[in-house]
């Protein structure tokens, strides 16, 4: 699959799906390892799993590399046996372009303190460069790190994933580490293959106030959703509204200026949005404290949020994750509504160049990590296919399969042309 920003016809639109690939292998008392590939049997059934994408007529799949398994024992000691099988099958046999998730949360066991380690940026870039050199003929599209915001929240502020930091200072520590890792990874990838396509993927979101006096705080929270990309694109100068907040929570001004001086050259901004989880309401709890809760708004604000990212950064956009939690009818309605939103955006000249229904099939809810019940209790149905019962085929197609396939086969009708774009050669 080639990529040319000048060609923005519906036929050039990138329809994609993805396989959930969160990797948090480290455990502590009360925690279980979270490796979605292992829990869903993808390490054994990868041929059957990936073939579903071809059935859908797709051109691309977001697919992640378990860093902790391909560089398991010490830096530079790689084990490519599994990826050596999967990538040729995906690209050469199925004819599908992988959008490689190099980092989807998990670090190798040998990297002590994980994202907080001073060695992290160098280590992740070395791994990325080694991967790109080995698979230069098979992989061209890369995401250096999935969702910096979620990584900083879970690993730095909420303390639920390694390195288990729990303060806003921890948030800043992890955020700056992963962003420096992204910078170095982007440079290593470009050095290995100047023709790659870089897709930054972030968890987009909306902050809403439950009462009038919380609106200012909600606006500040909304500004923080832009913080990682502001840092990566050279916007974090001393006059930035959050420069002082970063410095007060441990960021060195010199380090911020170093980040600003070397912006990462992304080709696409990937936005992840889920109607049930991506809108957060700020409210005052029974103890009189500020609290947060996700609120379901049927995706209200989805199109406006995408347009805001475009106007802010002027980087073409791909929806890199979206789906809806609920029964098949709920998912079908969101698929229809979200594709219609893309059509409307393109009609207004907002360059949305791709759409990803994510995940492709059943995944395991992250709550499994902290739970006690059997695996079956944590199956999360967001996908186009659902896991079959014992004795049946591995995957059962839902009605969304035909719905999604109809959009892929008729992009002109589904998402229309991009207003103001040249037709291309």
Give the pLDDT confidence score for residue 105 in this predicted structure. 95
pTM (two decimals) = 0.95
Give the pLDDT confidence score for residue 423 in this predicted structure. 45
DSSP collapsed to 3 states, 172-187: HHHHHHHHHHHHHHHH
Q: How far apart are CA 68 and CA 159, in angstroms?
A: 20
Percent composition of the chain: helix, strand, coil (DSSP 3-state, to 5): 45, 15, 40
Among the listed residues 104, 12, 68, 111, the one whose alpha carbon sits nearest the alpha carbon of residue 424? 12
Give the pLDDT confidence score for residue 425 in this predicted structure. 34
Q: Is there a contact between 243 and 254 (Cβ–Cβ < 8 Å)?
A: no
Q: How far apart are CA 411 and CA 240, in angstroms?
A: 40
Tokens of 345: 């955006």
* 148 alpha carbon, distance to own chain's centre: 9
Is residue 321 classed as helix, strand or coil in its secondary structure? Answer: strand
Among the listed residues 404, 420, 412, the one whose alpha carbon sits nearest the alpha carbon of residue 316? 420
> Which CATH architecture describes the domain 14-414?
Alpha-Beta Barrel (3.20)
Query: Which residues of the chain fall below pLDDT 70?
Result: 2-7, 296-297, 421-425
359 cis-preceded (ω within 30 degrees of 0): yes
Q: How far apart are CA 419 and CA 344, in angstroms?
A: 10
Q: Counting every residue, how long is the chain?
A: 425
Q: How far apart are CA 340 and CA 326, in angstroms?
A: 20
Q: Is there a contact between 239 and 269 (Cβ–Cβ < 8 Å)?
A: no
101-144: pLDDT as tens digits: 999 999 999 999 999 999 999 999 999 999 999 999 999 999 99
Give the pLDDT confidence score for residue 2 in this predicted structure. 65
Give the pLDDT confidence score for residue 221 in this predicted structure. 81
Q: How far apart are CA 148 and CA 142, in angstroms?
A: 15
Angle value at C-alpha 150, between 47 and 229, nearest 5 degrees = 105
Tokens of 305: 């949020």
Give the pLDDT confidence score for residue 3 in this predicted structure. 63
Angle value at C-alpha 277, between 274 and 278, nearest 5 degrees = 65
Give the DSSP per-residue string, 140-177. -EEESSB-HHHHHIIIIIS-SSTT---SHHHHHHHHHH
Q: How far apart are CA 61 and CA 54, in angstroms?
A: 10
Tokens of 162: 């390694």
Among all chains, which residue has been given the structure tokens 């409307």? Answer: 344
230 cis-preceded (ω within 30 degrees of 0): no
Among all chains, which residue has been given the structure tokens 């500040």? Answer: 220
Domain locations in the chain? 14-414
End-to-end CA distance of the chain: 16
Burial 331-365 (b: 16+ CB within 10 A, else e): bbebbeebbebbbebbeeebbbbbbbbbbbbbbbe
């Amino acid at each position: 699959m080639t990529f040319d920003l000048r060609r923005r016809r519906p036929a050039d639109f990138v329809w994609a799906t993805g396989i959930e690939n969160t990797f948090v292998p480290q455990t502590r008392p009360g925690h279980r390892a979270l490796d979605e590939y292992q829990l869903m049997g993808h390490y054994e059934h990868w041929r059957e799993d990936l073939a579903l994408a071809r059935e859908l007529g797709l051109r691309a799949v977001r697919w992640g590399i378990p860093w902790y398994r391909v560089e398991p024992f010490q830096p530079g000691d790689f084990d490519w046996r599994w990826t050596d099988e999967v990538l040729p099958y995906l690209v050469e046999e199925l004819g599908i372009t992988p959008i490689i998730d190099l980092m989807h949360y998990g670090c190798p066991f040998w990297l002590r303190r994980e994202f907080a380690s001073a060695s992290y940026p160098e280590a992740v870039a070395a791994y990325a460069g080694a991967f790109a050199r080995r698979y230069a003929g098979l992989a061209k599209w890369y995401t250096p790190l999935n969702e910096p915001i979620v990584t900083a929240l879970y690993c730095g502020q909420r303390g639920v994933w390694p390195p288990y930091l729990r303060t806003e200072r921890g948030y800043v520590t992890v955020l700056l580490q992963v962003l420096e890792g992204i910078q170095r990874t982007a440079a290593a990838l470009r050095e290995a293959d100047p023709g790659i396509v870089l897709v930054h993927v972030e968890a987009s979101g909306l902050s809403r106030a439950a009462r009038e006096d919380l609106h200012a705080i909600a606006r500040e929270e909304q500004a923080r959703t832009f913080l990682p990309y502001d840092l990566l694109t050279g916007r974090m100068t001393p006059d930035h509204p959050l420069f002082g907040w970063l410095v007060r929570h441990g960021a060195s001004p010199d380090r911020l200026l170093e980040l600003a001086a070397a912006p990462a050259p992304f080709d696409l901004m990937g936005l992840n949005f889920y109607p049930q989880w991506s809108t957060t309401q700020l409210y005052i709890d029974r103890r009189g404290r500020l609290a947060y809760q996700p609120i379901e708004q049927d995706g209200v604000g989805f199109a406006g949020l995408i347009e805001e990212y475009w106007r802010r950064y002027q980087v073409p956009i791909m929806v890199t994750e979206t789906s809806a939690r609920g029964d098949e009818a709920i998912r079908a309605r969101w698929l229809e509504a979200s594709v219609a939103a893309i059509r409307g955006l393109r009609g207004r000249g907002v360059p949305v160049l791709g759409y990803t229904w994510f995940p492709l099939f059943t995944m395991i809810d992250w709550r499994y990590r902290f739970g006690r019940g059997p695996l079956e209790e944590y199956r999360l149905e967001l996908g186009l296919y659902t896991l079959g019962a014992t004795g049946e085929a591995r995957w059962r197609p839902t009605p969304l399969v035909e719905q999604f396939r109809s959009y892929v086969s008729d992009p002109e009708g589904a998402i229309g042309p991009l207003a103001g774009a040249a037709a291309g050669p």
